[in-house]
Structure 1
Amino acid sequence: MRETPIRIGSHDIVVELAAGGMATTYLAHKRGDAFFARLVVIKRIHPWLLVDPKSGDMLREEARLGAAIQHPHVVHVEDVTNHDREVCLVMPYVESLSLGALLGAVRRAGERIPPAMTSRIMLDVLSGLHAAHDAKDLRGDPLEIVHRDVSPNNVLVGTDGRGRIIDFGIARAASRLCKTRSGDMRGTIAYMSPEQLRRRELDRRADVFAAGAVLYEALTGERLFEGRDEADILIGVLADEIPTVSRAIPDVGLEVDEVLARALCREREERFPTARAFAEALERALPPAPATDVAAFVERFGQSEFSRRRNAIRAFVDGQTIDVPALDDGHGSAASVEARSGKKRDTYRKWSAVLLVSISTAASGGMFFLPRNPSPNAYAQKMAVHLPTTNPAASSDPAEAPPGGSKSDSKPLAPLGSVVTATAPSSPRTPSTPVRRAAPIREKVDKRHSTELQENPYR
């Protein structure tokens, strides 16, 4: 059980949300002057990664790019704060499920996301991607951002019915502060474009390809490029025939097949030139459902998770100690989340009404949900894939799948070194200030949809 810090900068920690290979994220209560209060998400890099300066550089890059993209379908970085000489990101809290988690929940129920709802979600995501691709710096110069990791786990579907793109931690901009070494590729293999796998220079069309793979998966419930190991997946991306979806799904016409075929062209010159062009073609081929339908669908499949989190928030407000049921990790374990116990402080009484208003506002506009607690191997999967210059499939060395993940989840093709468990540093406390600890919360993971926290603003 890791110790959850009571405070990070000017933010009171409510509960730990997730711990991934690169960072831990917390739900936090931000207080300001004149009784201003709201809920935010804090992303804090793991202390043991601070020995590598590149880890901090990537977080700063995420902050820089995330702040430059202001769009309703992009989760932006609001602020950067320091905690024990560490850089932490502050982001809005949005009640949502990742698309990966939603797909897993829907599959376990023996259902699919209705095609019109999929269209609504993907139109939002493509709109956010286009905004990122067109983003400019303060001087008005194009940043030329390429996300490079568009995947179901980096798409949020909110209880407000909106789709959002997240996690620009490994995005590349023309003026990137943190340079990627030659031969390194960062992202999730099953959603990489052929040119990304071949280590060529990337532009926005690489994200168009990845979005096409996500659209296929959202429509069918099946990952487009599967395989026994990374080599199989690489071969699939580079050479496999793209199957049609119209035969399998009655509500999808041939026009959708044509849209997918163009988005997933191996030659980028033949793809949609922009995410906006992709969205326009998709909207014509598959008219979207209203956002209210998506909102009800997400609420239905995320009901237990949202209730669990809302209970944790209420416990924080009331200063109570409660047991928050953990998502089943397949081993019968449960996580207990302790809120501050004992005598309530006058400060909490004063802020309770304010925070409850904040909770209501977040519920109407969306709160932030993050995938939970992958193994440290998730960092290796997300952070680097080292490929030889010739025949990558033949020389790939399959990596072991993480707990709860599928064999086909992409992994690094070269070891990144061991990752050890560490305890987050805590500040001295007096006996009158009880320690709140939040156990790692694990989720039972669908074989094809690991709800991992990438180095997410989560990943």
Structure 2
Amino acid sequence: MNTPVHYGKYLLIDKVGTGGMAELFMAKQTGLKGFEKMMAIKRILPNLTEDAEFISMFINEAKLAALLTHQNIVQIFDLGHVENSYFIAMEYVMGKDLRTILQRARALNLLMSIGHALLIITKVCAGLDYAHRKKDLTGRDLNIVHRDVSPQNILVSYEGEVKLVDFGIAKAASQSSETRTGILKGKLSYMAPEQAWGRAVDRRADIFAVGILLYELITGHKLFKGDNDFNTLEKVREAKVEPTPTSLNKQVAPELEAIILKALAREPDNRFQSASELQTALEDHMSKKGYDFSTVRLAQYLQTLFQHDIEQDSHRFQVATGAAVAVGIADQSTVVRPRHSADAAPETTPSRPSGRLRTPTPSRRPAQPSAFRMTILTFLLIMGAATLISMINPPFLQNVAQNSPEVRVAVLRLSQWPALTLDWAHHLLQVAFGSPNPVSDVAVLPQPASERVPPPSIQPVPLVESDSSGPLSAIESRSQEPATRPTEITEEPDRKLTPQEKEEIRRLLKDARAAYDEHRLDDAERMFRRIIDLNPKVPVVYHFLGMITLERKDPDGAIRIFEEASRKFPDYPILHYDLGLLYLKRGVISQAKDELQKALTLNPKAPMADRARTVLQDLNRSSDPQEFRPPVADRESDPSTGTAPIP
């Protein structure tokens, strides 16, 4: 931007960058007697200002992050609304993100020292531990999980300060919360295995991501990088640390490698159980080895890497602020008049360039920021943790992906994963992005079978008895909803159920789904089989039994269950879709195509229909069936890595 512009009580000095959802500005707030404060303004893009779901997500980010006040977390100062757009005012950090630092270090062949790497990671751990332990206004644990700890979200200032940023997809779950979105978010290369599988995550997923960061900082190599997104996802799920840190950097001590490998343990129970525990281990190692804790030397390292950038940034800042003074915008009396009445507010200067934002109309707007903050404060005091639970809404994310052909094409490849079943395949297009490389940087993935729960907008009300016309008509009658809400599709039992039995089935369905979601497979199977004893004509039960069998690494058994169930319930598309994808992974292409076509024929208007058609078209065009198998070792010869969705 060539000229600084008014934006409410702030002055937008320069545009820093634009992502897929928001744009970032260097800004200044002025006040009485020459008060000035530099800030960063994150403003929603104009095309998203009318999207209620995204606005809700954006506000949730601000409210969540505003609770976090720590030296290693970028501070949020304000949430506001100006001229039909929402914004967040936050701390401005003059520096670089960790991804840029790593790229420059590789380009100049100046690998970051182990001491600098450990210093950065200990600061990240300190910020995460604070967030993980944060309580709400009523004193209850928020159980915040960042879920996107990646190089782009770690800022290092030119003075050597380390800041964690962007809690936009962080999860704050109160102890009383019963609703979960059924999706995962984060950058593929920095997910924990349970996150990549779609399981519920806790703070230990952030610890795994920190382990990835530490590995890459001290080795200069990416840990999980595949030829494509699906390959990357497979590597994350396997969580093999190859090559080892000591083989890539001879200066890495065995004790440090042990710390890294523990942070990168595939099973959460085998990792450090808190960020503070990892931080302590690293600091103890630094003390024993005599590594420097000084941020001064870290700042000197950045100055070596970015000397020209620092000069440019300083010059840009001086030019931008000078321009603000030159046009008279930085005058306190025209920028902010705190606590003044609307009548005393200055009129918008008509001589300003037409391309710039104007100060809000004085008759009403000046009082809004204060009133808005009071509203937010009151709401937080009343609702406590409840105000933090409403996270990203699947309908918005689906719309984003549907409007992006590149995202849709890439995610279609992932739809061939056999663990993704028909009723949840529609979540596969729920991809939200905010970077130049949306598919590889930010992916919102559906939960696989082990963690699927209905999204908040879908309240499952399991029906024991269906319409007399049968399950197919039940699907078609809900054409405006997800086509396969499994607990709503059943057939009449051979005998009349008593009211008590109907209630028991409803309860068992709910409890079995909860057990399945929590990966208590034995409990889930026991309850699902009890449902079969009461009513053997509940097809979704066989779907879950098949997925449980998959998770127990018995793909042959799962295929038998799906085959039997699909014969028993030929009008239930999810079973054909499950079976088709399993056949696909096994390389039985003709049978895979038959089953996918059956699923498509049963409900051609279902949310997954276009994706099923695309898979079939790709299969028909492809002469190499291997193209559609996961890019991993031969799974047929190794039962331990069979087609189970969660090893």
1:159 Cα deviation from its structure 2 partner: 1.7
Q: Which residue number in structure 1 is paired with residue 146 of structure 2? A: 147
| 1:318 and 2:322 correspond | yes
Root mean square deviation, CA, Å: 3.4
1:264 Cα deviation from its structure 2 partner: 0.8
Q: Is the 8 A contact 2:16 2:24 kept in 1?
A: yes
**In 1: Cα distance, 2:264 partner to 2:328 partner:** 58
**In 2: Cα distance, 1:195 partner to 1:102 partner:** 28
1:303 Cα deviation from its structure 2 partner: 2.3
CA displacement 1:129-181 (0-9 Å, x = unmatched): 0001011122222111000000011001112212211100000001499x763
Letter in 2 for 1:316: A
Q: Which residue number in structure 2 is paired with residue 275 of structure 1? A: 275
**In 2: Cα distance, 1:402 partner to 1:135 partner:** 27
Q: Is the 8 A contact 1:148 1:186 kept in 2?
A: yes
Letter in 2 for 1:220: T
Residue ranges of structure 1 left out of the alignment (5+ in a row)? 320-338, 352-375, 416-459
Q: Is the 8 A contact 1:226 1:408 kept in 2?
A: no
| 1:247 and 2:247 correspond | yes
Q: Which residue number in structure 1 is paired with residue 308 of structure 2? A: 304
Q: Which residue number in structure 2 is paired with residue 42 of structure 1? A: 41
1:206 Cα deviation from its structure 2 partner: 0.7
**In 1: Cα distance, 2:252 partner to 2:13 partner:** 44
CA displacement 1:346-401 (0-9 Å, x = unmatched): 565889xxxxxxxxxxxxxxxxxxxxxxxx98x969xx998788447xx999x9x9
Structure 1 or 2: more helix by fraction: 2
Instruction: Find the residue that maps to 2:86 and give its secondary structure.
Output: strand
Q: Which residue number in structure 2 is paired with residue 369 of structure 1? A: none
Q: Which residue number in structure 2 is paired with residue 54 of structure 1? A: 53
**In 1: Cα distance, 2:205 partner to 2:32 partner:** 44
**In 1: Cα distance, 2:315 partner to 2:299 partner:** 20
Q: Which residue number in structure 2 is paired with residue 138 of structure 1? A: 137
| 1:210 and 2:227 correspond | no
1:67 Cα deviation from its structure 2 partner: 1.1
Structure of larger gyration radius: 2
Letter in 2 for 1:144: N
**In 2: Cα distance, 1:223 partner to 1:180 partner:** 31
Q: Is the 8 A contact 1:209 1:265 kept in 2?
A: yes
Instruction: Find the residue that maps to 1:72 and give its secondary structure.
Output: coil
- What are the residue-to-residue correspondences of 1:408-447 with 2, within 5 Å? none
1:89 Cα deviation from its structure 2 partner: 0.4
Q: Is the 8 A contact 1:128 1:165 kept in 2?
A: yes
CA displacement 1:52-88 (0-9 Å, x = unmatched): 3221122111111111111100112111121113221
Q: Is the 8 A contact 1:228 1:408 kept in 2?
A: no
1:116 Cα deviation from its structure 2 partner: 0.5
Instruction: Find the residue that maps to 1:262 and give its secondary structure.
Output: helix
- What are the residue-to-residue correspondences of 1:56-455 with 2, within 5 Å? 56-175=55-174, 181-182=181-182, 184-243=183-242, 244-287=244-287, 288-289=291-292, 290-319=294-323, 344-345=326-327, 348=330, 390-391=418-419
Q: 1:140 to 1:240 in 2, by over 3 A?
A: closer
CA displacement 1:255-299 (0-9 Å, x = unmatched): 111111111111101110000101111222344421111011112
**In 2: Cα distance, 1:87 partner to 1:4 partner:** 21
**In 2: Cα distance, 1:410 partner to 1:78 partner:** 26
CA displacement 1:181-233 (0-9 Å, x = unmatched): 32x22110111111112222211001001111111111111111010111111
Which structure has more RCO (C-alpha within 8 Å, separation ≥ 6)? 1
Q: Which residue number in structure 2 is paired with residue 361 of structure 1? A: none
Letter in 1 for 2:124: V
Q: Is the 8 A contact 1:230 1:410 kept in 2?
A: no
Letter in 2 for 1:233: T
Q: Is the 8 A contact 1:380 1:412 kept in 2?
A: no
Letter in 2 for 1:107: R
1:300 Cα deviation from its structure 2 partner: 2.1
Instruction: Find the residue that maps to 2:42 and give its secondary structure.
Output: strand
**In 1: Cα distance, 2:70 partner to 2:434 partner:** 34
Q: Which residue number in structure 1 is paired with residue 614 of structure 2? A: none
Instruction: Find the residue that maps to 2:309 and give its secondary structure.
Output: helix
CA displacement 1:394-440 (0-9 Å, x = unmatched): x999x9x999769965656799xxxxxxxxxxxxxxxxxxxxxxxxx
Instruction: Find the residue that maps to 1:71 and give its secondary structure.
Output: coil
Give me the TM-score of the superposition, normalised by structure 1.
0.71
Letter in 1 for 2:313: R
1:318 Cα deviation from its structure 2 partner: 2.3
CA displacement 1:284-332 (0-9 Å, x = unmatched): 234442111101111222222222222122112322xxxxxxxxxxxxx
**In 2: Cα distance, 1:132 partner to 1:64 partner:** 13
Give me the TM-score of the superposition, normalised by structure 2.
0.51
**In 1: Cα distance, 2:274 partner to 2:42 partner:** 30
Instruction: Find the residue that maps to 1:186 and give its secondary structure.
Output: strand
Q: Which residue number in structure 1 is paired with residue 15 of structure 2? A: 16
Letter in 2 for 1:122: I
Q: Which residue number in structure 2 is paired with residue 371 of structure 1? A: none
**In 2: Cα distance, 1:261 partner to 1:255 partner:** 10
Q: Is the 8 A contact 1:68 1:136 kept in 2?
A: no
CA displacement 1:322-344 (0-9 Å, x = unmatched): xxxxxxxxxxxxxxxxx78xxx3
**In 1: Cα distance, 2:308 partner to 2:138 partner:** 46
Q: Determine what percentage of the aligned residue pairs are the same residue.
A: 30
**In 2: Cα distance, 1:349 partner to 1:64 partner:** 31
**In 1: Cα distance, 2:271 partner to 2:74 partner:** 26
Q: Is the 8 A contact 1:190 1:410 kept in 2?
A: no
Instruction: Find the residue that maps to 2:251 and give its secondary structure.
Output: coil
**In 2: Cα distance, 1:127 partner to 1:387 partner:** 38
Residue ranges of structure 2 left out of the alignment (5+ in a row)? 334-402, 447-606, 608-647
**In 1: Cα distance, 2:4 partner to 2:52 partner:** 23
Letter in 2 for 1:297: Y
